[in-house]
Chain A
């Protein structure tokens, strides 16, 4: 055997050896190769391919059997050693675990919401193929579709299915009291198209949808659980609705509902409005929402093009229904983006903030590890000098990192699980998908990945640093010295911490400023001591009557309600209206503007047609809600059906069309000039549809002249909540079939309308608090380390005559200098990132100078406190002791 063949490298064995830990390979690898070669030579001498096969087989099996146990024994060693190191520094371990738990916990919690709402596919069959159709015109973002339009658009080749939906409120009888139920009226194949399988019974069949078919109902999961106590025998039970007996045929699973959350569903034929022949034939009777399923491989863009083509055909064919001046169009959008568009900006902002908190926590742990490393330098130097490879040290440090990060991940997941219910409640204000929020494998994987990445990152940072120090420290004799590179790493980590915390603080600051602006904004009414309720008289009764009679019935009902409620003790004043400010209906549906005409003016084009929202009110309305009269008068008891039609307008409307002139005694018409209303008063603006929205131009009409009593508002002498029961009883006495819902005080309504920005601000404030705390302890900790390393230098300075104040200034200056650099970088980061925020802010710009300066001041103050402690310790250095210490 020649020396060349002797040293011939075993390529295949080399690959196999890669399975062993690197240390093992470095120590024994070449020996193993050599042994293997001798084995091969021997087999070769004996001859025989079988022998060679057997050798390979035994070698491979041997490697696979021993390599894992080698890894495991090394891990066990590292873990045992790591635990011993951590037990030597319990304070370090606790601090690190606390910081990481909070970081990982906050991140995991927000991630599970983000994942459930934005990332997971819709819980419908091929949910990414479902689109929503919209028909906007110049004045209305979505007019809806009429029955003939539904037929026309259903012909589109892009869709495999088109289903309709509209929502009505009906009164359901069958229990002890009348109940108003939100009812989704849907095509028979509605649930089939969504791929929703009932948990009980069945969904609708085409037979259910035939005119005159027996009336059937499907309950939503929530209504079934809450209002029917999850009755397992609900299928086949009957309820009276719209004067007909309805049989329950199914119960839905908990699925997100869009655009409304409904209690029950009925097929098209069962809805008394939708099944009226007049509506079916009327192209302008737009009341339907349309959903469609894209055919496979059809994109939204393609379907959009087809819809536009159909629309332009219809516009030519039926110009009467699509006046050119109104510029009607049709568009479709993916259901998923419609469901989540409100939640997206908030969730992304929160996730970014939570990620920053985690990064800050990581930087803190890295810094703590580094600080600890400087005390372990001797040990690591020795290990390195004795042949522990770089990878061995890295492995040890990463294991120690994992010992901190994995328990933190565990605690963090627990923390996240605990907060999830609250977060889901919060998210419910932003998206119907909130009910799907839960933790799944992805979330757990996320938490563990966060922990592993964290420990690898700060472990390798520390290892990187240790290598540099080995060289430096072998040269320098002083155990106190820290290399310039080490100081720089500390400094950089602290700067990064400060910068990230500053951005989070800016975010919180902006949200809080925005919230304060909202809270300070005058809603235009005085919400104290006002109770509101939504009333729904039984529709079916008034349906049978003709319009005249129905109006008269409504008028009488209104009078009886006012009379009855006003006579209750503790009810100071009572009003009826067609709606109440900031009610759940107004918040969800937003304003609905109708055109009106001002006498003596002719609009130049469709865009210039005056628009306003309208509300019917009883004379006491403004007194109950405390909205001021600016001109003229309120409605009075003498504004009756037979007297002159009158109106009151809001200030914004008066300003827009009369520009400061007196609008009273002017006339307007809501019905294209058939009846003219005399303006008798101007009232202050009311933010009916959300405090963050500008007040809508509003025309008020007397409820006597436009009977539509949907809301009752009661100004209580005392606590508005305490009169709820009396109010309910009084209403039931007037008419037991009136369904009462949305009972709340105006204060509740106001708080509810601010809940989403408030919770966002609170969450960001919590994150900011964490960030500030972690970052300032980081600054303080690193400064303390630097001071302890500069003891000798400080001693010399003091021996040479430096005053304590000078030392204090020097150390504080060093600490605050680092903080200032961080703040400046953070400020630029903040300017770049807070643009994400724009849609979430009210009355404050993302670059609000006051917030930036204020947050910087808070940060500097906190950092000054954190720096003061180590700085004071520096001033207590005794020069004699310090000079001796080496």
Chain B
């Protein structure tokens, strides 16, 4: 449904991705997931350093949905295999592009920092 609502027409693409948003996008890059699976993925991805609370997770999901970076999946596993309250999310093409752009930006910053010896080179280390 392409309703131009205030909720998504006003948000600019130039808007920065926050770290939790990026983490959720990266978690979804490995495949469509429901909420709990996203939490687990983020925890595994960061070796357990990041423990996202449900509140944070869903306020991030809400924003990503509003910005059109993720979508809720219509198909879902057979009912009896699944808690009916679960919903599955998938990353959109727009989400991929935006995440990629953000990560590239970060990468160039890392390169810059490294060239100025703000951090050590992992290959030399």
B and A form one assembly: yes
Chain A interface (Cβ < 8 Å from any Cβ of B): 6-7, 20, 24, 27-28, 30-36, 38-39, 58-59, 61-67, 69-70, 77, 80-81, 84, 382-383, 386
Q: B86 and A70: CB pair below 8 A?
A: no
16 contacts between A and B (CB under 8 A): A28-B58, A31-B35, A31-B58, A31-B85, A31-B86, A38-B36, A39-B36, A39-B39, A58-B53, A62-B52, A65-B53, A66-B56, A69-B59, A70-B62, A80-B10, A386-B1
Q: Quick check: B85 and A28 within 8 Å, CB to CB?
A: no
The contact string, 1 if C-beta is below 8 Å from chain A, for chain B 70-81, is 000000000000
Instruction: Note all chain A residues with C-beta closer than 8 A to B55.
Output: 20, 32, 59, 62-67
Q: Is the CB of A31 within 8 A of B51?
A: no
By a CB distance below 8 angstroms, the chain B residues around A7 are 83, 85
A6 to B79 Cα, complex, angstroms:
13
Report the separation of the CA atoms of residues A62 and B52 in the bound assembly, to the nearest whole angstrom.
8
Chain B residues lying within 8 Å of A77, measured Cβ to Cβ, are 6-7, 10
Docked Cα-Cα span, A386 to B3, in Å, equals 9
Taking the nearest CB of chain A, how far is it from the CB of B79, in angstroms? 11
B54/A59 in contact, CB under 8 A? yes
Q: Which 7 A-B pairs have the closest CB atoms?
A: A62-B53, A62-B55, A66-B55, A34-B85, A38-B36, A63-B55, A66-B59
Chain A: CB-nearest residue to B39: A35
Q: Is B96 an interface residue (CB 8 A)?
A: no
Bound: A80/B55 CA distance, A: 25
Q: CB of B17 within 8 A of chain A?
A: no
User: A70 near B59 (CB under 8 angstroms)?
Assistant: yes
Q: How far, in Å, is A793 (CB) from chain B's closest CB? A: 34
Q: How many Å lie between the Cα of A20 and that of B35 in the bound state?
A: 18
Do residues A35 and B59 form an inter-chain contact, with CB atoms below 8 A? no
Return the chain A residue nearest B7 by Cβ: A77
| B57 sits at the interface (CB 8 A) | yes
Residues of A within 8 A of B59 (CB): 24, 66, 69-70
- Knowing A27-B62, A59-B53, the reply to whether A34 touches B83 (Cβ < 8 A) is yes
A residues less than 8 Å from B62 (CB atoms): 24, 27-28, 70
Closest residue on chain A to residue B53 by CB atoms:
A62
Task: Give the residues in chain B near A31, CB-CB below 8 Å.
Answer: 34-35, 58, 85-87
B61 within 8 A of A: yes
Besides A20-B55, A59-B54, A62-B55, 5 other A-B contacts (C-beta < 8 A): A24-B58, A24-B59, A35-B57, A67-B55, A84-B6
**Which residue of B is nearest A20, CB measured?**
B55
Assembled-state Cα–Cα distance A799/B1 (Å): 44
User: Using an 8 Å CB-CB cutoff, how does the interface string of B2-26 with A read, 1 for contact, 0 for none?
Assistant: 0101110010000000000000000
Give the CA-CA distance A24 to B65 in the complex, in Å: 12
CA distance A386 to B5 in the complex (A): 10
Residues of A within 8 A of B58 (CB): 24, 28, 31-32, 66
* A13 (CB) vs chain B CBs: closest residue: B54
CA distance A631 to B85 in the complex (A): 106
- Closest beta carbon of chain A to B2's beta carbon, Å: 11
- List residues of B (67-114) whose CB comes within 8 Å of A's CBs: 83, 85-87
Q: A34-B85, A62-B54, A62-B55 are in contact. Are A28 and B39 (CB under 8 A)?
A: no
Alpha-carbon gap, A34 to B56, bound state (A): 15
Contact A30 B85 (CB under 8 A): yes
Q: Is the CB of B87 within 8 A of A58?
A: no
Q: CA of A59 to CA of B55 in the docked complex: distance in angstroms?
A: 7
A69–B59 Cα gap in the complex (Å)?
Answer: 9
User: Is A80 in contact with B87, judged by CB distance below 8 angstroms?
Assistant: no
Q: How far is the CB of A3 from chain B (nearest CB, A)?
A: 9
Nearest B residue (CB) for A54: B51
Contacts of B56 in A (CB 8 A): 62, 65-66
A32/B54 in contact, CB under 8 A: yes
A66 partner residues in chain B, CB cutoff 8 A: 53, 55-56, 58-59
Q: How far, in whole Å, are A65 and B59 apart by their CA atoms in the complex?
A: 10
Given contacts A30-B85, A66-B59, contact A35 B6 (CB under 8 A): no
Residues of A within 8 A of B57 (CB): 35
Q: Quick one: which of B6, B39, B61, B83 contacts A80, CB cutoff 8 A?
A: B6
Residues of B within 8 A of A62 (CB): 52-56
B92 to chain A, nearest CB (A): 18
Chain B residue with minimal CB distance to A58?
B53
A58/B51 contact (C-beta < 8 A), A28-B61, A38-B36 known = yes
Q: With a CB–CB cut-off of 8 A, which chain B residues contact A35?
A: 35-36, 39, 54, 57
Cβ contact within 8 Å between B6 and A34: no
Q: How far is the CA of A65 from the CA of B20 in the complex (A)?
A: 14
CB distance from B23 to the nearest CB of A (A): 15
* C-alpha spacing A39/B43, complex, angstroms: 12
Roughly how many angstroms separate A34 CA and B52 CA in the complex, as a whole number? Answer: 15
**What separation, in Å, do the CA atoms of A619 and B56 have in the docked complex?**
97
* C-alpha spacing A69/B58, complex, angstroms: 12
Residues of A within 8 A of B52 (CB): 62
CA distance A33 to B55 in the complex (A): 10
Min distance, Cβ A36 to any Cβ of chain B, angstroms: 6
Q: Which of B15-50 contact A (CB under 8 A)?
A: 34-36, 39
- What residues of A have a CB within 8 angstroms of the CB of B39 in the complex? 35, 39
Which residue on chain B has the smallest CB distance to residue A62?
A: B53
Once the chains are docked, how many angstroms separate the CA of A814 from the CA of B39? 65
Interface centre among A31, A33, A81 (most CB of B within 10 A): A31
Q: Give the distance to chain A from B115, nearest Cβ to Cβ, in Å.
A: 37
Per the bound structure, the CA–CA distance linking A49 and B34 in Å amounts to 27
Kindly state the separation between the CA atoms of A33 and B52 in the bound complex, as whole angstroms: 15
Pick from B10, B39, B56, B83 the residue with the most CB of A within 10 Å: B83
Residues from chain B with Cβ under 8 Å of A67 in the complex: 55
Contact B3 A382 (CB under 8 A): yes
A778 and B83 CA atoms in complex are apart in Å by 56
The answer to whether A34 touches B61, judged by C-beta atoms less than 8 angstroms apart, is no
In the complex, are the beta carbons of A61 and B53 less than 8 A apart?
yes
Separation of A62 and B58 alpha carbons in the complex (Å): 10
B85 interface neighbour in A27, A33, A58, A81, Cβ under 8 Å? A33
Most central of A27, A32, A70 by chain B CB within 10 Å? A32
The chain B residue sitting closest to A41, CB to CB, is: B36
Q: Which residues of B contact A39 (CB under 8 A)?
A: 36, 39, 54
